[in-house]
Structures are given as structure tokens and as C-alpha cells.
């Protein structure tokens, strides 16, 4: 009896399971529609209790309620894999497969349920002719049911972004679509060389597999092999697509490489094929085909045709937002080269890296962010193409990656950033920020001429390699004297000149050589008409602090008004040799230099100096600095230039920063 009792206990031993309070906590989150928290809590419990079916049911319910049907299917698949003899697990997988239209996964799971003795009532039985058609590959070969089951399972796991399990399932499946999906999955886990090999094998096995060939071109460029990518363009451009997926990747890769005419020709050839039909093809895919045709037309200058293709795309599928966005922007392309948004994130960056980056940026140090950016091995050539054809988010990320590469000393990244700022893509502020990065990291020589798109046109500007900063300088005075200095500024602004002077003189009684106080008092004296006393005080500050920019510029302004231009030049001369300026100091120096240039009879050059400052305006304080600069220069400009400058200043003050 003792032995019999022992065996019974061994057979009925149960796996550990969570306590009811843990389950209730997850269910409470679900009732409150806190899906992210509920999912995280359920997955954490599953790691501890992987054999407890109730947790799988709960996780599937959470994912279905948040409309992540592929995620729910992947959870059901994991449950069925871990518990192959569980009818509830297999039933959950069957339900997901049916919902997602994964026919061969559905049929195979139904067979498994029947083998377990379960009934499968109401399961639709596909037409045998339809099944044979589904198993017929583009190259004419017939796939086995087992391969189709693996292919469907891989699609399910890819949709759920469970890439490691998708790779395991798709390895060794010898059908073209499975090899293509394997290559894409390897890309998304940053196994770029392995992805390249998978697509290469797919194309070698089937020369008409344009999906694989298009990916090969992208991946060669990703790895920096532009010549290799360019060499594959010739067979891709000459081919005629045999199905929608091949055509999409053919157009994608040709546009990616800038082969717009070839892309249009490929689209026109495909449109004459018997399979090309909005009724037969998936609406979203056919809409994107027309979107690509519109992009090629726009880049070739045929905006009328581009508009028509985008309208057709939206008529096919109104969910294609990129087509709607391009239609809204097309009116602004008449006077500038067209750079429509072509690509999205779907296969431009590895998904696992994007998700890690998104999670990491919620609480990450600047250095850790740079390290995360450095993990991506995309070449500057690849990133430049994303900058030219991606949406705002993609472009911002690609620019950030190029900047990170440039700051690590990558001259190719810097070269491509320099070319990018000459294009009408993004905002003037974006381009000026890139320009400052190039300047700060010494990718621009002093006095180098740079082409940049500003104010709606391509301009050539000469920039010295200055570093401009906005760091707050520590106070020069103790708190009680700093309060007096602030009071003097307020009194001066309110017209109480005598009160302002009194405050400054109180400060000088305790700190007779304070540079800011001496400089401010010198300016006040000049404004009150005490020119000699004010000029003497400014010269005293300059003698005490020869590197202090403000008194030298302020005295130079006085000398310019007196037409003592050579003396003003002497005061300003060596200030331009500095390499680093606070934004306020830089505006003051450029403004004073521009005023001197105008006074010497060259108002055009003076205005060009001022124009270079405008894109640097980021705050209301910057706008005030620019207003001061304009006030300095305006008296020395002819009437026409004065009127235009006043108009520009007015616009600046209306601009929200």
C-alpha cells in the first residue's frame, strides 16, 4: 500500500501556480484598461509560472483588448508549444490563427485538437483548389503542408515582434516567402550579415525574387557597400515583377537608390500584368504601389502625375497617411526641388534596436544615449538616403545618427550632413543646428563657404569656425551688490538715469574695478551726453580687462557714430580670433562689425552679416539681441534695405519660440 500511495502522489504532483491575489491584481489592471501595466505583470508571472494555463488565458485577453491580435496569437502559440497536449492551449491557437487568416496554421492546429480527442465544430474547410494555389510558389514549386505551417507560424511571430522564435521556426524552410521573411527577421535583430546571406540565397535560388533583390540592395548600402548596391540596380531595374510583394520591394529599392525613371518604368510594366488589380491585390499594398509611383513622378518634376497617383492611392486605401501628407505639401514644391516622404520605419531600422532606444530614452544619460546610437551599424550612405526620403521622425533619427557618427570623427558622415543642409528638407533651424555641429567638431575650415538652404532659397555663406554657447555665467558680484546692479538696469529701462547711476556708483564704492559696473556706467555717461567721461571709463575697463568684449564693442559703436572708423576697427580686430562665444557676445560682435562695414560704404555685406544671425534666433531673448543688431546697422543702410529689415524684425517678434 505504501508503494502504491507514493506512485499516486508522483502522478498527481502539480506545478506551482500564482496565488489568487496576484491574479486579481492583474485583472484589476485589465478592468481599469491599464493594458501596458497588466501585460507587464502577466508576463512577469508567466516567467515564474510557465505551466499555469490561466496566466496564458489572461495574457491573451489583455492583448486582444488592446487590439494586439498578433501578440495574442503569439501568446497562444507559446502556450500550445509549452503544453502540446492541452486542448485549451491548442484551442486558443486555433482561434488566433482563424482570426488572422493563417490558414495552414489553423488547419494543422485543428488536426492536433482532433488527435487530442477534441471536437472542432464549425471550422471552415478551405477549397482544395484554393489550398493548392496557396501552396504553389511564385517559381512554380509546390510547398508541403509542413512548410506552409512553419511559414504561417513565422508570420504570426513576426507580427508579434517575437523575432528570436520566428527565426527558429523559419530556419531551413525551403520556400521563397519563408526565406524572405527569415532575412527580414534577421535584419530586425541586427544580424545584418546573416540577413544579407539569407536574401542572397533567396535571389540565387530564384532570379525573379525581386523582394530578396531589393533587400540585398538596401543591406549592401546599410553596410556601406554603395558600389555593390549600385551593381545590383541593373538587374532589378530590368525585371518585371510577378506579384505585388516583389513590385513593392522593387520600387522601394529603386527609389532608395535614386533611380526614379527606372521605378516609373517598372511600375508601368507591372501595371500591364494580369495580376495587377486593385480588386485582386491587398488594398494597402496596392495603395503603397501607387504612392511609390507618385514619389517617382514628383522627384522627376511631374507634380500633376504625382498628385493623380496619390489620389488613386487614397481611393484604394484611405489609411495611407503618407500619401495624404504628400498631397498636402505638394503645392509648396513648385519653387523648390521635390523631396516627398517615401519610406516609413517598417524596414528602415531594426525593430529591436528601435524598441530598446525608445525604452532607454525614458531615463538615460547623454553618454548612454550616444552609446545606444553607436550600436547601430548603418553606414552614412544609408542614413543619408533615409534623411532624403523618410518622414519627420525617420529623418530626425537619421540626422541624429549621422551627427553621432560625425562627433566620433566619421568624416563621411560629416560630408553627407554638409550635403544635406543644402536641400529644402526640414526647417532652417534644423539646418543651422547641423551646421553648428559641423563647425564645433572642426569639419568646416575657417572662412569656408558653405551652401545651405535658408529662407526658401539656396545660399552660400561664409562661417568662421566659432563655437556658440548659451551657458549661464556665474555672477561677478556678491548677492547684495548683484541686487543693486539689477536695480540699476531696471531704473535705466524705466528712464530713471540718475537712479541707475546712483546704484552703479554704490557698487563701485565697494568694488571699484568691477568690469560690468564700470562698463554700464560708461555707457550711461555717454547716453547722457558726457562723452569724454563715458569714453574714458570704457577705455579704463578695456585697459583693466583687455579680453572683455562688451566695452570694446560699445566704444567701437561710439567711434563709428563719430566716423572714427579706423579706431573702431582697431578695437574689434582681434576679437574675431576667438573660437568660442556666448550667443549674446556673438550677436554684439557681429552687429558692431556689420555697423562698421555699413559705415565704410558696403551695406550689402553688412546685411549679409545680419542675415546669418537670424536662423540662430531660438528665444525671445535672442530676438531682442537681433533687434539690437538691427538698430546698430540700420542707420547706415539705404532706405530700401532699411524697410526690408524693419519688416523682418517685425516678423521675428511675432514668431513663437
**pLDDT surpasses 70 at 517:** yes
- Nearest CA to 546 among 574, 581, 508? 574
- pLDDT at residue number 363: 59
| Cβ contact 470:582 at 8 Å | yes
Maximal CA-CA distance, the chain: 120
Name the pLDDT band for 336 (thresholds 50, 70, 90): low
Name the pLDDT band for 67 (thresholds 50, 70, 90): very high
Q: How many of the other CB atoms lie within 10 Å of CB of 378? A: 22
d(CA 605, CA 440): 25
Q: What is the pLDDT of residues 412-429, one digit of tens each?
A: 999 999 999 999 998 887
- pLDDT at residue number 281: 57
d(CA 499, CA 488): 7
| Cβ contact 253:236 at 8 Å | yes
| Cβ contact 548:515 at 8 Å | yes
The average confidence (pLDDT) of the chain is 87
| Cβ contact 79:53 at 8 Å | yes
* Percent with pLDDT over 70 in the chain: 91
- Could you tell me the pTM of the whole model? 0.74
- pLDDT at residue number 13: 55
d(CA 219, CA 279): 33
The DSSP-derived string for 491-516 is HHHTT-HHHHHHHHHHHHHH-TT-HH
As a whole number of Å, the end-to-end CA separation of the chain is 86
d(CA 480, CA 251): 70
- Minimum mean pLDDT among 304-308, 594-598, 632-636: which range? 632-636
**pLDDT surpasses 50 at 478:** yes
Residues in the chain: 657
Strand partners, 461: 450
d(CA 436, CA 266): 42
| Cβ contact 340:326 at 8 Å | yes
Spell 128-142 as b/e; 16+ CB within 10 A means b: eeebeeebebbeeee
Could you tell me the sign of the dihedral formed by the alpha carbons of 274, 280, 285, 288, in that order? Answer: positive
**pLDDT surpasses 50 at 624:** yes
Q: What is the pLDDT of residues 522-570, one digit of tens each?
A: 989 988 889 899 999 999 999 999 989 999 999 999 999 888 999 999 9
DSSP code for 16? P
Residue 650, classified by CB atoms within 10 Å of its CB into exposed (0-12), middle (13-18) or buried (19+), is: exposed
Cβ-proximal residues to 583 (8 Å cutoff; 6+ apart), any chain? 468, 469, 470, 616, 622, 625
Pairing label, strands 467-469, 457-463: unpaired
d(CA 205, CA 439): 49
d(CA 289, CA 254): 13
- Nearest CA to 100 among 165, 152, 39, 148? 152
d(CA 384, CA 401): 10
SS3 category, 142: strand
Amino acid at each position: 500500500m505504501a508503494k502504491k500511495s507514493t506512485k499516486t502522489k508522483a502522478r498527481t504532483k502539480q506545478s506551482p501556480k500564482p496565488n489568487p491575489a496576484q491574479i486579481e491584481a492583474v485583472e484589476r489592471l485589465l478592468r481599469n484598461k491599464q493594458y501596458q501595466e497588466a501585460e507587464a505583470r502577466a508576463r512577469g508571472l508567466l516567467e515564474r509560472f510557465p505551466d499555469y494555463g490561466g496566466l496564458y488565458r489572461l495574457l491573451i485577453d489583455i492583448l486582444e483588448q488592446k487590439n494586439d491580435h498578433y501578440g495574442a496569437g503569439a501568446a497562444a502559440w507559446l502556450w500550445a508549444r509549452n503544453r502540446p497536449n492541452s486542448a485549451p492551449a491548442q484551442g486558443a491557437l486555433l482561434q488566433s490563427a482563424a482570426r488572422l487568416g493563417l490558414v495552414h496554421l489553423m488547419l494543422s492546429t485543428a488536426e492536433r485538437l482532433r488527435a487530442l480527442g477534441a471536437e472542432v465544430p464549425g471550422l471552415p474547410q478551405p477549397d482544395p483548389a484554393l489550398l493548392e494555389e496557396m501552396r504553389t510558389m511564385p517559381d512554380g514549386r509546390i510547398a508541403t503542408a509542413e512548410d506552409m505551417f512553419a511559414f504561417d507560424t513565422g508570420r504570426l511571430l513576426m507580427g508579434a515582434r517575437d523575432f528570436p522564435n520566428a527565426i527558429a521556426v523559419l530556419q531551413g524552410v525551403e520556400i521563397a516567402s519563408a526565406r524572405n521573411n527569415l532575412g527580414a527577421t534577421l535584419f530586425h535583430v541586427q544580424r545584418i550579415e546573416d540577413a544579407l546571406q539569407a536574401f542572397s540565397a533567396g535571389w540565387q535560388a530564384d532570379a525573379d525574387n525581386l523582394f530578396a533583390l531589393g533587400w540585398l540592395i538596401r543591406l549592401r548600402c546599410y553596410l556601406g557597400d554603395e558600389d555593390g548596391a549600385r551593381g545590383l540596380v541593373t538587374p532589378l531595374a530590368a525585371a518585371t515583377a510577378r506579384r505585388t510583394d516583389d513590385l513593392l520591394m522593387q520600387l522601394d529599392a529603386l527609389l532608395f537608390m535614386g533611380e526614379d525613371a527606372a521605378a516609373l518604368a517598372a511600375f508601368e510594366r507591372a501595371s500591364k500584368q494580369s495580376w495587377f488589380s486593385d480588386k485582386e491585390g491587398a488594398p494597402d499594398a496596392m495603395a503603397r504601389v501607387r504612392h511609390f509611383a507618385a514619389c517617382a513622378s514628383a522627384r522627376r518634376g511631374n507634380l500633376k502625375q504625382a498628385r493623380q497617383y496619390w489620389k488613386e492611392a487614397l481611393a484604394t486605401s484611405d489609411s495611407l497617411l503618407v500619401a495624404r501628407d504628400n498631397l498636402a505639401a505638394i503645392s509648396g514644391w513648385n519653387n523648390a526641388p521635390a523631396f516627398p516622404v517615401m519610406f516609413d520605419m517598417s524596414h528602415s531600422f531594426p525593430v529591436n534596436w528601435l524598441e530598446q532606444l525608445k525604452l532607454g530614452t525614458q531615463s538615460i544619460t547623454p553618454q548612454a544615449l550616444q552609446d545606444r546610437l553607436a550600436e547601430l551599424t548603418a553606414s552614412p550612405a544609408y542614413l543619408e538616403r533615409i534623411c532624403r526620403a523618410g518622414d519627420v521622425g525617420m529623418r530626425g533619427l537619421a540626422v541624429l545618427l549621422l551627427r553621432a557618427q560625425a562627433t566620433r570623427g566619421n568624416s563621411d558622415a560629416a560630408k553627407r550632413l554638409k550635403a544635406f543642409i543644402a536641400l529644402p528638407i526640414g526647417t532652417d533651424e534644423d539646418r543651422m543646428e547641423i551646421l553648428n555641429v559641423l563647425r564645433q567638431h572642426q569639419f568646416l575650415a575657417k572662412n569656408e563657404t558653405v551652401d545651405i538652404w535658408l529662407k526658401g532659397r539656396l545660399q552660400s555663406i561664409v562661417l568662421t569656425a566659432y563655437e556658440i554657447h548659451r551657458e549661464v555665467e556665474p555672477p561677478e558680484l556678491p548677492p547684495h551688490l548683484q541686487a543693486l546692479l539689477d536695480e540699476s538696469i531696471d531704473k535705466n529701462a524705466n528712464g530713471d538715469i540718475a537712479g541707475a547711476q546712483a546704484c552703479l556708483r554704490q557698487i563701485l564704492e565697494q568694488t571699484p574695478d568691477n568690469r560690468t559696473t564700470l562698463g554700464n556706467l560708461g555707457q550711461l555717461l555717454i547716453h547722457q551726453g558726457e562723452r569724454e567721461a563715458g569714453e574714458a571709463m570704457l577705455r579704463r575697463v578695456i585697459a583693466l580687462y583687455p579680453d572683455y568684449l562688451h566695452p570694446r564693442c560699445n566704444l567701437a559703436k561710439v567711434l563709428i557714430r563719430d566716423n572714427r572708423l579706423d579706431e573702431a576697427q582697431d578695437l574689434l580686430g582681434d576679437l574675431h580670433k576667438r573660437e568660442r562665444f556666448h550667443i549674446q557676445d556673438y550677436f554684439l560682435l557681429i552687429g558692431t562689425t556689420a555697423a562698421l562695414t555699413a559705415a565704410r560704404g558696403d551695406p550689402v555685406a553688412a546685411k549679409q552679416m545680419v542675415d546669418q544671425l537670424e536662423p540662430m534666433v531660438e528665444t525671445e531673448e535672442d530676438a531682442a539681441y537681433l533687434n539690437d543688431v538691427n538698430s546698430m546697422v540700420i542707420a547706415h543702410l539705404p532706405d530700401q534695405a532699411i524697410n526690408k529689415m524693419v519688416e523682418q524684425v517685425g516678423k521675428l517678434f511675432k514668431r513663437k519660440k
